[in-house]
Amino acid sequence: MVKYAAGDSFAGVTAGANNFDSITAFATGTDKIDLSSFGFTGASVASVRTNATTGVNATTGEVAAAQASNFFGAGGDQRAVATVTTAGGDTFVYVDANKDGSFQAGTDLAVKLVATAAPALADFTFTA
């Protein structure tokens, strides 16, 4: 089990090092990412949004401004989690920590699952 708190891990680079945490050997269907501390409920946890790689930097996890707006969806389609699987086979997991539907590098969570396909909704825990 992996547990995160708001402010723990971000996209981008500081002083040459990636700001996000990387998880190796994450096993979909076995391991869980615990997001219960964020208090997501309702439509936000109905599914995990799967985004294309467009505008996402496969090295730094940064999201271009053009894709950041509604990165997690909007209205009834707004989700707590969005994933992007890179051409190299890693998956970035983004968490909309401030629940506004858009991605902000200094606010929303970014974690890289190394050599892992996109996790499913069941791979996340939203309630304690």
108 binds Ca ion (CB under 5 A): yes
70 binds Ca ion (CB under 5 A): no
CB of 80 to Ca ion, least distance (A): 10
**Residues that contact Ca ion, how many (by CB under 5 A):** 5
User: Three-class SS of residue 128?
Assistant: coil
Q: How far apart are the first and last CA of the chain?
A: 13
CA atoms within 13 A on the CB side of 49: 23
123 binds Ca ion (CB under 5 A): no
CB of 26 or CB of 94, closer to Ca ion: 94
Nearest to 84 by CA among 106, 103, 97, 107: 103
1 touches 31 (CB < 8 A): yes
CB of 89 to Ca ion, least distance (A): 26
Report d(CA 3, CA 11) in Å as an integer: 17
69 binds Ca ion (CB under 5 A): no
CB of 7 or CB of 89, closer to Ca ion: 7
Contact range with Ca ion by CB under 5 A, out of 21-29, 57-65, 81-89, 100-108: 100-108
CB of 61 or CB of 116, closer to Ca ion: 61
User: Three-class SS of residue 93?
Assistant: strand
Q: Which residues make up the interface to Ca ion (CB under 5 A)?
A: 96, 98, 100, 104, 108
